[in-house]
Amino acid sequence: MELKIENLSKTYSNGVNALKDITLTIPQGMFGLLGPNGAGKSSLMRTMATLQQADSGSITMGDIDILKDTDKVREMLGYLPQEFGIYPKVTSYKMLDHIASLKGVSNKGERKELVEALLNKTNLWHVRNKSLGTYSGGMKQRFGIAQALIGSPKLIIVDEPTAGLDPAERVRFHNLLSEIGENTIIILSTHIVEDVANLCKNMAIICLGEVVAQGNPTELIQRVQGKIWKKMIDKKELDNYKSNFQVISTHLKAGSTVIHVYNETMPDETFEPSPANLEDVYFTEISSRLNEVTV
């Protein structure tokens, strides 16, 4: 089963045009949605998660119209919002049990087994009887994924799940996600390129509400391979380079500034070729649309 987004557009009542004619095909497996903050990732995710309506366009999954058959979608949906809260005085065990029953897991025995498994899986077993208000950011996030996994969802949407997590937490989180079955669509939105590079078979980059690239990461890297050039420059010269070249990113390396430039051929001999990675792909796409890029 594939998820198809066709010509999806959305303008909020405050005039923000969050989604512009988005068309995407999302196959099973892990799908990365990459984009800078404010690109429209969350709008897209929330629309897929039945939390808001689009102005035009459609989203279908098999024969289910996600925008209309919201009840059906929710039956097979696991959703972890970018920002969420939970009742601070309830324990994770109780809360998961409660959500499981709301997700239709009505058999008590099954529910118990499921909740215990999820708590183990997300490494929350030892704090299962502590109230959620006392959880650290990482624990809360793991709880978030645990609730999203209830009921073997066919469609899992996780919105910026690793924001604010320390590196170890991120690794654990990645492991968790990667263990989910293959016949599930998992959509992961993030602005961290590494997340996608590590996890996703397919991806799309969106910027300013538009899809600017999609495909599998290797293919996308292939497209820019040989077109990325780097140079160590003096910081004062940056503006000069920016006006002459498509500078896609700048890094600091041992106190000096290294710029990456996208160009079909070597701009001049002061540049040296740089092997392309996903980060270069990403910055190539967004630097042409957003004015300033600094990493």
Partner 1 sequence: MFIEIFLFELNYRLRRPATWAYFGILFIYALFLSIGGLSGGSEKVFLNSPASLASTLNVISIFGIMLASAIMGVPVYRDIEHGTQNYLFSYPISEKGYILGRFAGSMATLFLVSLGLILGFMIGYAIGPYAGYEPAERYASFNLWHYLQPSLIFYWSNFFFTGCIFFALVALTKRIMLAYAGGAILFIIYLVTLTLTQDIENKELVSLLDPFGFGALNNTIQYWTPEEQNTLTIPLKDTVLWNRILWLSIGVLIFLYTVFRFDFQRFLYKKLGSKKKSMVDEKEVSSAAVFTKIPKVSQVFTGTHNLKLLFSLSWMEFRNITKDLFFKAILIAAVAFLFFDGWFGNPTYGTPMLPMTYYMLEIKDFTYVILIFILIVFMTGEVLHRERGVKYEQIYGALPLPNWVIYGSKFLALVLICFILVNMILVSGVLNQVLQGYFNFQFDMYFTDLYLIEFPKYITYVMLAFFVHALIAKKFLGHVITIAIWAGLFAINSLADIDYNMALYGYAPGYTISDMNGFGHFLAAQNWFRLYWLGFGILLTVVGLLFWKRGTDSGMKARLKEARQRLGGKVKSAMVLGALIWIGAGAYVYNNVSVINSYRTVKERRVLSANYEKELSKYNYLNQPKFTDIKVDVDLVPEERYATMSGTFEMVNKGDTPIDSLHINWGNNELLQTELMKLAVNDIELKEGKVFEIFGYKIYKLPQKMMPGDTVTMKLALKRGYKGFPNEGSGSDIVYNGTFLNDSFFPSFGYNLQGEITSDKYRKEYDLPEKEYVAPPQDDKWGLSNLLFNDDADYVTFEGTVSTAPDQIAIMPGYLQKEWEDNGRKYYHYKMEGEMDYFFNVSSARYDIYKEDWKDKDGNNVAIEIFHHPSHSYNVKRFSKAVRHSFDYFSENYGPYQYRQMRIIEFPRYQSFAQSFPNTVPYAESFGWTADFSDPEDLDYAYMVTSHEVAHQWWGHQITPSATRGANQISESMAEYSSLMVMKKEYGVDAMQDFLKRELDSYLRGRAGENKFEKTLLDNDTQAYVWYRKGGLILYGLQDYIGEKTLNQGFKKFIDSAAFRPKAPFATSNEWYGYIKEVTPDSLQYYLEDSFEKITLYANKVSEATFKKLDNNTFEVQLTVESGKNYYDGNGKELSAPEESNLLDIAVFQNDTIIDGKTKKVPLILEKKWIKPGKSTFTFVTNKEPIKAGIDPYNKMIDRIPDDNLKSLDELE
Residues with Cβ within 8 Å of residue 236, at least 6 apart in sequence: none
Give the integer Cα–Cα distance in Å for 82 and 223. 31
When asked if residue 83 is in the footprint of partner 1 (CB under 8 A), the reply is yes
Give the integer Cα–Cα distance in Å for 214 and 219. 9
Q: Say which residue the tokens 């409660």 belong to.
A: 98
Query: Quick count: other Cβ atoms within 10 Å of Cβ 65?
Result: 14
Determine the length of the chain: 295
Select 5 or 48, whichever has its Cβ closest to partner 1: 48
* Token pair belonging to 163: 């924001």
When asked if residue 167 is in the footprint of partner 1 (CB under 8 A), the reply is no
- Please compute Rg for the chain using Cα positions: 21
Residue of the chain from 103, 170, 174, 227 that contacts partner 1 (CB under 8 A): 103
Residue of the chain from 7, 25, 107, 270 that contacts partner 1 (CB under 8 A): 107
Positions of E strands within the chain: 3-11, 17-26, 29-34, 56-61, 64-65, 77-80, 155-159, 185-190, 202-207, 210-215, 228-233, 246-253, 256-262, 272-273
Beta bridge partners of 65: 60
Positions of E strands within 96-142: none
Residues in the interface with partner 1 (CB under 8 A) total: 62
Residue of the chain from 6, 75, 194, 210 that contacts partner 1 (CB under 8 A): 75
Least distance in angstroms from the C-beta of 103 to partner 1 = 6
Residue of the chain from 121, 201, 242, 251 that contacts partner 1 (CB under 8 A): 121
Select 168 or 254, whichever has its Cβ closest to partner 1: 168
Give the integer Cα–Cα distance in Å for 279 and 285. 10
Binding mask 129-148 for partner 1 (x = CB under 8 A): -x--xxxx-xx----x--x-
Residue of the chain from 5, 39, 46, 177 that contacts partner 1 (CB under 8 A): 46
Q: Say which residue the tokens 């099954």 belong to.
A: 110
Residue of the chain from 152, 222, 244, 294 that contacts partner 1 (CB under 8 A): 152
* Token pair belonging to 88: 């601070």
Return the residues of window 168-207 that contact partner 1 according to CB under 8 A.
168, 172, 175
Return the residues of window 3-32 that contact partner 1 according to CB under 8 A.
12-14
When asked if residue 53 is in the footprint of partner 1 (CB under 8 A), the reply is yes
Stretch that binds partner 1, among 28-36, 48-56, 259-267, 285-293 (CB under 8 A): 48-56
Interface positions with partner 1 (CB under 8 A):
12-14, 46, 49-53, 55, 68, 70-71, 74-75, 77, 79-81, 83-88, 99-107, 110-111, 113-114, 117-118, 120-123, 125-127, 130, 133-136, 138-139, 144, 147, 149, 151-152, 168, 172, 175
